[in-house]
Every structure is written in structure tokens, then in C-alpha cells.
Amino acid sequence: MDVVRTNRELQQRSDAMRASGRRVALVPTMGALHEGHLSLVAEGRARADEVWVSIFVNPTQFNEASDLDAYPRTWEADLAACEAAGVDLVFAPTVSEMYPDGADTTVQAGALSRPLCGSARPGHFDGVTTIVSKLLLAAKPHVAVFGEKDFQQLAVIRRMVCDLNFDVEVIGGATIREPDGLALSSRNLRLDAEARAQAVVLARALEAADDAVASGEREAETILALVRREIEKAPRAVIDYAELRDPDSLEPAPARLEGPTLLALAVLLTPADGDTDDAVRLIDNRMLCAHAFAEDPR
């Protein structure tokens, strides 16, 4: 497995791959790899001759310096995980390589970036679209794989790739969960034991909403009230948002659901002292019962 540090070297490797008719899949990550990331590697492997993983903690998508500083960095473990998963190349640039002195150009995300995570994290998705653009231009992959847990991010990237005519297929990989249902996330490493136990309320809230829709419930406020009650069972969980959205436009869902609907959650897990400044923010989502709407005669 090769480790590449510069854009130029990665571009040269990609040019050689393309000239030989071989396909490349890129899995962009910020490291602290877990089984969810490795499932994306497997998705890439099914679609390409080589799978490349980028590991770069992107400073421009963090709103708080403290959050950037606290983000877990597990370089040696990440390399070992990539090696074991059969990754062909790891791209691990420095900040100065991706943002050289004087860098002054960004890629501005559009309407899909404004609700949900975007409403509380101004500029976050501009940081995402900028770094993903840079990674795509450096790696020139045929396929790029992103996790569906970050549903809004995936939607924003797909829109950007379409709007800017990137020659790449964007694939969404299914969310991988712990046995108790908690979605795998690098941020889970920051949870203490009690917060980790309480974090399962996100998955339980999604499941409760899904069960309600499958049983015939269609009133949006009734479903959201059920979600809020489930999350409030965890004393250290603070709801950032719990919203029902159209899965394509991310516009608010109607008062009475009329078709498959995205339930998106963001929850802060506070430390034992209750200081929200040090809380760990987790996100999750569920597409509510598409089959229920298909079978619903109403």
C-alpha cells in the first residue's frame, strides 16, 4: 500500500491508471476509521480496480477551533485498517498542501446546504464542497464513495458534482451500526461511557418513527413528538434538530406525509457537568417507510 502526500504525485498516479484503462475509486475520510469507512472501501472495490482512501482533517469545515482540535486523530491505526482492508493507496496531504499560502478560492454550496446542519454551522458545507473538489481534482477518480449517515453532505456533493460537471460517479454507502443501533461515527470515540449508553436514543427515535409510519401514522407533528419523547429519555441528550424533510430537495415535509420522507436528527451528548460547549454532536437519519407509502391506499 502506497502513501502519497502531494497533489502532483496523486495526479500522476491517476493519469497512469486512466491511461492503462484501470478504474479508481476514492473514499474521502478525515481518519479515525471504523467499520463504516471500511464498508465504503468495499463499495469502491466492487466498482474499481484500485481503491484509494484520503485521510485529511479539513480545517475549513469546522466552525469551532476547539472542535477541530478535539477531532480524533489515529494515524497508525488508520494505516493498519487500510492495509488490512486491501486499500491500494492512502492520500494524506498536509494542510499547507491542500491550502497553500494565499489560497483564496472556495466552492460555495447552494440551497441544499442551508437547512439541517447548515442552519447551525454557517460555512460548514462550503468547506466540504471546497475540499471534496480539491480531492476529486487531485485523485481524478471514476467513483467516489460517501456514507449515507451524512445524508445532507451526500446530497450537497451530488449536487456539486452535477452542477460543476465533475467526471465522477458518486456512490452512497449504507450506514453501519453498532449492535445496539448507534450509527458508527468517528465522534463516538469522544463519548464517555454514560454518554455512549445514552446515545442509542438516536437509533431508537428513528425506529419509533419508522414503526409509527409503518402502522399508518402520517401526521408530521405526531411523528416528531414521538421522536422528541424518545430522545428526552436520555438526560444528557440535547436535541439540535429533529426534522422531516423531502429527501430530494431537503424542503420541509408537508404537515401530513405524502411519500417517502427523510427524518434527520442531530443531538448533542453533553459531558457529565452539562457544559454544552464540550458536547459531542451526533447525527443520524432514516428514510421513513417507503414501502408503507407504496402500499398505502389513502
Per-residue model confidence as pLDDT tens digits over 161-197:
999 999 999 999 999 999 999 999 999 999 999 999 9
pLDDT at 276: 79
| Catalytic sites, residue numbers | 37
- φ, ψ for residue 265 (rounded to 5)? -125, 145
Residues 21-73: tens digit of each pLDDT: 999 999 999 999 999 999 999 999 999 999 999 999 999 999 999 899 999 99
Distance in angstroms (rounded) separating the CA atoms of residues 160 and 177:
28
**Computed from CA positions of residues 169, 170, 172, 173, in that sequence, does the dihedral angle turn out positive or negative?**
positive
Task: Pull the grid cell for residue 140.
Answer: 481524478
Tens digits of residue pLDDT in 246-268: 999 999 999 999 999 999 999 99
- Measured CA to CA, the distance from residue 109 to residue 127 in angstroms comes to 9
Cα distance between residue 107 and residue 132, in whole Å: 9
Q: Give pLDDT tens digits for 89-148.
A: 999 999 999 999 999 999 999 999 999 999 989 999 999 999 999 999 999 999 999 999
pLDDT recorded at residue 277: 80
Q: Tell me, what's the pLDDT at 290?
A: 61
The mean pLDDT of the chain is: 96
pLDDT at 298: 52
Q: Delimit the domains of the chain by residue range.
A: 2-173, 186-295
In the prediction, which pLDDT does 296 show?
57
Fold for the domain defined by 2-173: Rossmann fold (3.40.50)
Sequence-separated (6 or more) residues with CB below 8 Å from residue 162: none
186-295: same fold as 2-173? Answer: no
Cα separation, 41 vs 145, whole angstroms: 8
186-295: CATH topology: Pantoate--beta-alanine Ligase; Chain: A,domain 2 (3.30.1300)
pLDDT mean over 8-19: 98
Q: Are 34 and 174 in contact (CB under 8 A)?
A: no
**Cα-to-chain-centroid distance, residue 261:** 18
